[in-house]
Chain A
Amino acid sequence: MNILFGALIIIAVVFGLVTQNGAGLTQGVITGAEDSINLLLTMAGMLMLWSGIMEIAARGGVTKMIGKALAPILQRLFKNVNKNSKALEYISMNVSANLLGLGNAATPFGLSAMNQLHRLGGESDRATDDMVMFVVMNTASIQIFPTMIGSLRQAYSSTAPFEILPCVWISSATALAVGLIIAKSFCNIKQRSD
């Protein structure tokens, strides 16, 4: 992150010097700072509203309900995880919280799940098939309701901030499927060579 920030600014200034656009650069600094706070303020309402709604859902046990429904499916993906294990419970809760967009809740469950998988794998420094599967799942976005994107679109006066939802669902489901299939097929290749 530190390198990225430095690189962006240095590239910008060097480029600006080459193209002799000092005025534009200065303008960029000023409007950038101004715009970013305007943006945050404009999206604040939407973001708070959705966080509030999602809190009601979480307290109503929706996270647990989805987690239970998902457990049988998840069990097929993770071959070394037992049906009643802590690992499967944490994985289900992590996926369920991710679906609801409760990122702050999803991460602790995810870290606990990882810890359990690590134990199952004999605590080596080499990732097990299940760990790879789990991390790939978490590098894909499975949020049903992308509130941040909706709020951002709203902030830039979109006429229909949520019209992209079906596209997001199809696109993220396909991406997740591809990630999982590749993860799974690598495990199979390894098994055959054993």
Chain B
Amino acid sequence: MDYFVPIFIASVVVVGLIRKVPLFDAFVEGAKKGFQILLNIAPTIVGLIVAVDMLKASGAIDMLCDFISPLADTLGFPKEIVPMVLLRPVSGGGSTALLTNIYKDCGPDSFAGQVASVLAGSTETTFYATAVYYGSVKVKKIRHTLVAALSADFTAAVMAVLTVRLILGSG
């Protein structure tokens, strides 16, 4: 795994060389887009992290976690990530705010931190994507879309715990 990142970058550069891409110009332009993304998400992140930090300070998140922990424990699910699982399909920014909260409290390399990372990396903002795509063509009867999409989200949550246990050996 240690070599994945350098080799990945090297292969991209090699493909770029073969295809005669102006390497550095392309890189600079891409990095500029990256910065643009950062600027675009900054206001959302500031607003939602403040809201989540307030929620955390008020004790509401802890109470939800404690409330759900017997069930989470039985399933072998870290209770700290339950609020994130619930918010993930609804709000990308909100779940990112909760993710940073988990990193802050437990550390990114803890069991909860790893499961939360995998979960965030293997799910999307389901309701947002559904609304954008169907909204664009004015389709209202979406039939079994949400059943299938939310089952996928649930699967990702279960698989996040399983893979972190089996592959990274924590928990």
Whether B112 is near chain A, meaning CB under 8 Å from some CB there, is no
Given A158-B108, A159-B109, decide whether A111 and B133 contact each other with a Cβ distance below 8 A. yes
B152 smallest CB distance to A (angstroms): 3
Contact B54 A25 (CB under 8 A): yes
Q: Are A12 and B54 in contact (CB under 8 A)?
A: yes
Report A68-110 CB contacts with B as 1/0, cut-off 8 Å: 0000000000000000000000000000000000001001001
Most buried by B among A13, A37, A175: A175
Task: Select B156's contact among A25, A35, A171, A183, beta carbons within 8 Å.
Answer: A171
Kindly identify which residue among A35, A156, A162 contacts B1, using a CB–CB cutoff of 8 Å: A162
Measured between beta carbons, the chain A residues less than 8 angstroms from B63 are 15
**Known A27-B57, A135-B130, A162-B4: A149·B117 in contact at CB below 8 Å:** yes
Beta-carbon contact of A163 and B168 below 8 Å: yes
Q: How many A-B residue pairs have CB under 8 A?
A: 332
With A21-B59, A149-B120 already in contact, the answer to whether A125 and B50 are too (CB < 8 A) is no
Contact residues, B67-122 vs A (CB, 8 A):
89-91, 94, 96, 99-100, 103-104, 107-109, 113-114, 117-122
How far, in angstroms, from A59 to B29 measured CA to CA in the complex? 11
User: Main secondary structure on chain A at its contact with chain B?
Assistant: helix
- B7 interface residue, CB < 8 Å from A? no
Count, chain A residues at interface, CB 8 A: 97
Contact check, B122 vs A175: say whether CB atoms are below 8 A apart: yes
Binary B-proximity of A1-12 (CB < 8 A = 1, otherwise 0):
100110011011
Give 1 or 0 for each of B36-75: 1 = CB within 8 Å of chain A CB. Answer: 0110011001111111111111111001000000000000
B residues neighboring A (CB under 8 Å): 1, 4-5, 8-9, 12-13, 15-16, 18-19, 21, 23, 26-35, 37-38, 41-42, 45-60, 63, 89-91, 94, 96, 99-100, 103-104, 107-109, 113-114, 117-124, 126, 129-130, 132-134, 136-145, 147-149, 151-153, 155-156, 159-160, 162-164, 167-168
20 residue pairs A–B, Cβ–Cβ below 8 Å: A32-B52, A32-B54, A33-B50, A47-B35, A55-B33, A56-B12, A57-B15, A107-B132, A110-B133, A115-B136, A136-B148, A158-B108, A162-B5, A164-B168, A170-B159, A170-B167, A171-B121, A171-B160, A179-B155, A182-B147
